[in-house]
A and B are shown apart, each in its own frame.
Chain A
């Protein structure tokens, strides 16, 4: 734990225990979504599914990146990840992104994906609002993740024909253009 790192956030008026709780639930949502997106990705097959595979892969890897970028902040603030992964999954801030009953129905697949991203947008908007002007490190990290979640929603929404996303493809799968500066482990995407 960073003693002063936590102290200054408390002094700024943030309920640090509540913030840590929000960060753990966000990290759990990223971790479980990474798992479920892996299943969705392998089932994205056929004429429609293969077209989706690239953006599912970007979103899948970037969600894993979000988990890895969030974890150090949880510990810096004196929190910890649950020691039991089942408990971790249960506190995830978003519902599980299950494979649809018909896994080859591309529209159902896209609905799962777009709703998962919308849930993530709500999580990070909440954390940004909770920390704005008080905890710049958590705020900037959450805002960076929010940028990527908003893009993910736009990609899937575009596939559903809800409107253009203005999407430019990532240079490499899961490149995390906003979050990568918070990735302290080696990053070679």
Chain B
């Protein structure tokens, strides 16, 4: 799992990039986007949606859709200074 802090909020996301199921250890965050260190795929921290390369892949190319699947996100709560992640979803 990836825990990320951006603009004062904590986000919890799957620790494996859905592109090739590589670990996201070493991923970087900028402007609300998480960048996978393996192939530089980018995901929206809030929704897990792929932002790159889905923005430049040819429209309607079904064979590429699987590559740009979203990163799974998990609900997060802060209780008493501790981070709680709901893994049930």
A interface residue numbers (CB < 8 A to B): 25, 90, 92-101, 108, 111-112, 115-116, 119, 122-123, 126
Query: Contacts A111-B55, A111-B56 hold; do A119 and B20 have CB atoms under 8 A apart?
Result: no
Query: Contacts A93-B40, A95-B53 hold; do A100 and B20 have CB atoms under 8 A apart?
Result: no
Contact of B61 among A98, A116, A119 (CB under 8 A): A98
Q: How far is the CB of B43 from chain A (nearest CB, A)?
A: 13
State in angstroms the CA–CA spacing of A93 and B53 once bound together.
Answer: 12
Centre residue among B39, B53, B64 by max chain A CB count within 10 A: B39
Do A101 and B61 touch (CB < 8 A)? yes
Q: How far is the CB of B51 from chain A (nearest CB, A)?
A: 10
Q: How many A-B residue pairs have CB under 8 A?
A: 47
Q: What chain A residues lie within 8 Å of B38 (beta carbons)?
A: 25, 93
Interface majority SS (helix, strand, loop, mixed), chain B: loop
Do B40 and A98 touch (CB < 8 A)? no
Contact of B35 among A90, A99, A122 (CB under 8 A): A122
Q: What chain B residues lie within 8 Å of A94 (beta carbons)?
A: 39-40
The 10 tightest CB contacts between A and B, nearest first, are A95-B53, A101-B58, A101-B59, A119-B40, A112-B56, A115-B56, A98-B58, A111-B56, A94-B40, A100-B58
Contact of A98 among B35, B41, B57 (CB under 8 A): B57
Q: What chain A residues lie within 8 Å of B57 (beta carbons)?
A: 95, 98
State in angstroms the CA–CA spacing of A112 and B55 once bound together.
Answer: 9
State in angstroms the CA–CA spacing of A101 and B35 once bound together.
Answer: 25
A-B contact pairs, 14 of them (CB 8 A): A92-B39, A93-B38, A93-B39, A94-B40, A95-B40, A96-B53, A98-B61, A99-B58, A100-B58, A101-B58, A108-B56, A111-B56, A115-B56, A119-B52
